[in-house]
Amino acid sequence: MDFNIIRSARVIFHVTDLNVARDFYVNGLGFIESECDGENLYLRGLEEHNHHSLVLRKAKKAGVEALAFKVWSENDLEALSLLFEKKGADVHWFEKGSQRAIGRSFRVHDTSTGIPLEFYAEMDSVNRHLQDFHLYRGAKVQRIDHFNCMVPNVQEAFDFYINELGFRCSEYTEAQNKTWAVWLFRKPTVHDIAFMNGKGPRLHHVGFTLSDSQSVLQACDHLASLGYANAIERGPGRHGLSNAFFLYLKDPFGIRIELYTGDYLTSDPDFKPIRWDLNDPRRATYWGQPAPDSWFEETTPFLNLNSGDEIPVKDTDLTQKKPDFSAWR
């Protein structure tokens, strides 16, 4: 590859009320507020040394503006933009200073799925609060970890991210002799982005790393004490796939996030992807509990980079079905 994508780095959510958003994300989950300009709330985890990993942008309707990846250098930006241009994609450049805290960057619709992506190399540095334990509260979010998206053709997304963007695969799920879901990484953990079969493109969730499983449990207690018990959608539990201890939440605007800890190292060159059958009940929840219907059926729209409108979804080419838990019983 002529470029080096480092990791998943930031996400931009559209929300309808910044005060409500602050209460949930800062008071409830323990994000650090880096800055607020009245239209945008910039948040980061306790471990993060960059200005933000989550942008909450005031808008009339909830949605996802872009998923961003950090690259190694400006040269990587140029090489990546050429790749997309050769595929006929419109590349939208932002010069340094035109977006808060980040350097030169570009946005583009992923040519395999239509998802709006952003790539940048530089972001302002800020104080890291990893050992400022007096600031720990709520879920004590440490850092952004991954994106999970529903798309109508998982194999097409897999081929593009593996063959064109240089991602590797940690785990995958098969159903009906077809690829149902894939977990792809650049940093040496289980995933930076995952694709699941379904109507899309739509965002399923963004995952944020916690320091340990106890933090997940404490997050439940803290959220309930603040009146956010209804935000808990699924878990706590342990995934078979990824081994992570998890909790899924819906924020006040219906956007799903995952609190996530305990996955594993994937850096070895001889690491081989792990296969799961869709009907294996340990895959989604190692203890066997099925996910609620909302987890399969409710997603968040991506926004078109040109018009700002919701990107239309396409029907899946593989009937999405919930796992058959009868084998567990």
CB 245, CB 264: distance < 8 Å: no
Can you say how many angstroms the Cα of residue 319 is from the centroid of all Cα atoms in its chain?
23
Please determine, for residue 320, whether its predicted confidence score (pLDDT) is greater than 70. Answer: no
Q: Output the DSSP codes for 278-316.
A: TT-HHHH-TT-PPPPHHHHH--EEBB-TTT-SBPPPB--
Token pair for 217:
């449990």
- pLDDT for the residue numbered 279: 85
For the chain, report the end-to-end CA distance as a whole number of angstroms.
Answer: 47
Main-chain phi, psi angles of 212, to 5 degrees: -165, 170
CATH topology of domain 5-120: 2,3-Dihydroxybiphenyl 1,2-Dioxygenase; domain 1 (3.10.180)
pLDDT at 318: 61
Report the CATH architecture of 140-301: Roll (3.10)
Domain segments of the chain as ranges: 5-120, 140-301
Helices (H) and strands (E) in the chain, counts: 6, 18
- Assess whether pLDDT exceeds 50 at residue 329: no
- pLDDT band for 325, please (50, 70, 90 cuts): very low
Given a cut of 60, is residue 326 above it in pLDDT? no
Bridge partner residues of 147 (DSSP): 193, 206
Assign 3-state DSSP to the chain and report helix, strand, coil percentages, each to 5. Answer: 20, 35, 45
Q: What pLDDT was estimated at residue 327?
A: 44
What integer is the mean pLDDT of 141-146? Answer: 98
pLDDT of residue 13 exceeding 60, the answer is yes
Distance CA 237, CA 247 (A): 7
**Averaged over 157-183, what is the pLDDT?**
94
| Closest C-alpha to 164, from 213, 214, 124, 108 | 108
**Matching fold, domains 5-120 and 140-301:** yes
CA-closest candidate to residue 208, choices 36, 31, 70? 31
pLDDT digits (tens, 9 = 90+) for 190-203: 999 999 999 999 99
pLDDT given for residue 319 in this prediction? 55
Residue 243's pLDDT is 94
Instruction: Judge contact between 277 and 283, C-beta under 8 A.
Output: yes
pLDDT for position 282: 86
pLDDT for 207 equals: 98
**Strand arrangement of the beta sheet that strand 63-71 belongs to:** 32-36, 40-44, 54-58, 5-15, 63-71, 116-120, 105-109, 92-94
The answer on pLDDT for 151 being more than 50 is yes
User: Cis ω on the peptide bond leading into residue 152 (within 30° of 0)?
Assistant: no
- Collect all residues with Cβ–Cβ distance below 8 Å to 117 and sequence separation of at least 6: 66, 67, 68, 69, 107, 108, 109, 110
Q: What is the pLDDT of residues 99-139, one digit of tens each?
A: 999 999 999 999 999 999 999 999 999 999 999 999 999 99
Q: Which residues contact 224 (CB under 8 A, 6 or more apart)?
A: 232
Average pLDDT over the chain, rounded to whole? 94
Q: What is the pLDDT of residues 41-100, one digit of tens each?
A: 999 999 999 999 999 999 999 999 999 999 999 999 999 999 999 999 999 999 999 999
pLDDT of 272 strictly over 70: yes
Q: How confident is the model at residue 317 (pLDDT cuts 50, 70, 90)?
A: low
Q: What is the DSSP string of 22-49?
A: HIIIIIIT--EEEEE-SSEEEEE-TT--
Q: What is the mean pLDDT of residues 223-250?
A: 96
pLDDT at 270: 95
